[in-house]
Structure 1
């Protein structure tokens, strides 16, 4: 764990007692701070109390005693409206920050020889795979690597820092909203498409949050920016004009005079005097599809920014084992393969998986995002049949009417069973694809739990199938 510095002997309010909040509380205590913890959910308070952490009802507390409010990223900061803890903190002049900011201040306060290297990754889609990929490449090259943030373990729960360590951090827009002093050695902005607009007050607010990953970079630092979408192009142009760091544009769809790009599966490095072919990504079994080519270009550029060689980068790309819940094959029964893409929490993310298969039985739905699935209409002809679940099923059924066969199944388990029955009845090689294009929060605590439920449903089907019984 990383002891938080800067709040020794001072009192910090912590609101939101899921993984991030509890980890931050422990790290603050380890660094010498006093903490006052609260959550509106009784079960979360009980978990903190069982650990011996001090609970204080922040709704009735004297806020003048607090040096800061450590706010969990899932709690609204500005939109749709500020949370009541935010309003109380502002009224009392109490600073509001998140766990990434606590980490940043701790790093900034460390002696120069003890400061680690930091790679910060954000983007609407692909950031978890890219984070894991960069971490894998660095570890395979012998670096002391810690991977966390919005993926896996909270940043403050990672092993304590030293001068030879590399921290590879996935950052969500929610986390970036609460971060002001992080100074990454390498920043990666993969792409920007509409998402979480209700939490940022619209697209401009969302873009502003994503851009914060580039906020404090200076001379000698590296900014890797995806330019396959208009927002990324604009940001790259603006950052290039500032001319304060090494900027590496990346693309998975076009050749560039300068940058790193992929054409027809071949990775090219054009950061030198000429474009050099460095890897055939069609040989990277865990990186299929154009979206993963962008992830690979970003990871290659990022690790080169840390000083790794091109060969170390390519070796890591080829040995990457993949990531759970991202186009992960969780089973095969006869001729039917089951693909878990639970991480696809919006239409643009679902497009990536849907584009990878010529035909598929599609499980979709959950808590819908703005715009629904209208942007996927060009892929509807690939759908053998759609099996809809959760809050979005009526909306999605209306969008798909007359364009694809639809079954409103309600639950993920029922959808999996019905999709398998139809797929096996076809007698053909088939793919059952869970790529929900929705958040999970109507039926599951997070996309990981949703993906795990899909895996269990597939395993249930496999058991009778293994005995020769029709599932």
Structure 2
């Protein structure tokens, strides 16, 4: 745990008692602060109270006694309307912050030079965060990984000069962190997402840019218009990462799957990414490029980095190789909850048996039309089935399977008739119509595939 000492002796309101909220409350108490916590869920209130965290209905609280409101990142700050706690805090002149802000303040007083790597972007954040942490740990560094990926930041060991914090940040978390100042700030990409929470694309991109603006050294993927413009505006130290056959910008380049350090003269080949199963596709090549930028900034050489790549296991539900049956490869990309994410998966294979559907996002799969020729057959599940069928009509063959179990069974049967076939779950949809989460959806896909006769896995 990192005790939050910068509010010692003061009282804070806290709203949101999920995992990170509980960790934040305990961290504040360990640092000498007084906490009054609240949640809309009475069960969470009771669980917090059982751990010794004072709780109360903040509607009836005297806000003049609070030094700050610590808000869960899942609670609306601005759009579609501020949460009622935000309105009360602002009316009382109380600042609204999040747990990342508490960490940043603690780092500033405890170990201001401690390495702090912050990663954001619309897609690829978790894989990149895990990859950076893996590479640094393989090199023997003391690494703490968390934030938006798993462990709450204040549950990690505290900042120290020789300890590297590798932290994934969502736009919600950045919005609650006014003093964000990482030593290395990574921005992967920006495409439309969470606009219901940020109002419009301009505001969403501006929030992402704050991570780059505040960083000592920025690492930016420059393969979309938004990030390229942000890189062009960056005044301080910057490493650009560009993926593509025509990649020529100064910085780190990935051409035909080869990661090249274009900052050197002559350019230095770093690693061949084409044979690494956990890093399939150009989007993962971008992840590897920014990971090398961070690793090299922290003193690792290309040989050390390339060796660590070989043992990277990847993350579940993100282009995860689930198993093989004969020549058929089964890929779990359940994390692809929007069309942009699914595009990355479709681009990684020349031909796929594609399982998709769920609770649709705005725009559906219209933007994926250039990839329809790659679809051997589409297997539609969930609430989006009719809309997706309409989009695919006349462009790709499809079946309305309804359930994931039916889709896996039919896709496996169809794929068995082809050599070197790929069955890809990349839903381009949220999961909540049929599953608890994208993790639940991916877990069920994995179980269904591994129950097929003749399937082999890396652990079987």
Normalised by the size of structure 1, how large is the TM-score?
0.91
Q: Which residue of 2 aligns with 1:345?
A: 337
Pick closer, same or farther for the CA change 1:377–1:181 going to 2, 3 Å: same
Counterpart of 1:197 (choices 195, 198, 202) is 195
Q: Which residue of 2 aligns with 1:229?
A: 224
Q: Which residue of 2 aligns with 1:215?
A: 213
Q: Which residue of 2 aligns with 1:311?
A: 303
Q: Does 1:297 align with 2:289?
A: yes
Q: Does 1:274 align with 2:266?
A: yes
The alignment covers a number of residue pairs equal to 454
Pick closer, same or farther for the CA change 1:20–1:412 going to 2, 3 Å: farther
Pick closer, same or farther for the CA change 1:382–1:73 going to 2, 3 Å: same
Q: CA deviation at 1:164?
A: 0.5
The secondary structure found in structure 1 opposite 2:345 is helix
Q: Does 1:181 align with 2:183?
A: no
Q: CA deviation at 1:413?
A: 3.5
Q: CA deviation at 1:397?
A: 2.2
Q: CA RMSD in A?
A: 2.0
Alignment of 1:27-176 (within 5 A): 27-112=27-112, 115-176=113-174
How far apart are the structure 2 equivalents of 1:206 and 1:434? 28
Q: CA deviation at 1:428?
A: 4.6
The secondary structure found in structure 2 opposite 1:183 is coil
Per-residue deviation, residues 338-387 of structure 1 (Å, max 9, x unmatched): 21111112111111111122222222223322222111011112223322
Q: Which residue of 2 aligns with 1:386?
A: 378
Q: Which residue of 1 aligns with 2:428?
A: 437
Pick closer, same or farther for the CA change 1:399–1:304 going to 2, 3 Å: same
How far apart are the structure 1 equivalents of 2:35 and 2:365? 44
Contact 1:121 1:170 in 2 (8 A): yes
Contact 2:110 2:160 in 1 (8 A): no
List gaps (5 residues or longer) in structure 2: 456-460
Pick closer, same or farther for the CA change 1:41–1:420 going to 2, 3 Å: farther
How far apart are the structure 2 equivalents of 1:4 and 1:225? 31
How far apart are the structure 1 equivalents of 2:398 and 2:55? 49
How far apart are the structure 2 equivalents of 1:274 and 1:366? 49
Contact 1:195 1:369 in 2 (8 A): no
The secondary structure found in structure 2 opposite 1:282 is coil
Farther off after superposition, 415-424 or 65-74: 415-424
Per-residue deviation, residues 63-87 of structure 1 (Å, max 9, x unmatched): 2222211111111111111111211
Pick closer, same or farther for the CA change 1:450–1:69 going to 2, 3 Å: farther
Q: CA deviation at 1:412?
A: 3.1
Pick closer, same or farther for the CA change 1:151–1:85 going to 2, 3 Å: same
Q: Which residue of 1 aligns with 2:17?
A: 17
Per-residue deviation, residues 9-58 of structure 1 (Å, max 9, x unmatched): 22222212222212211211111112222222234334334434332122
How far apart are the structure 1 equivalents of 2:418 and 2:188? 40
Contact 1:343 1:447 in 2 (8 A): yes
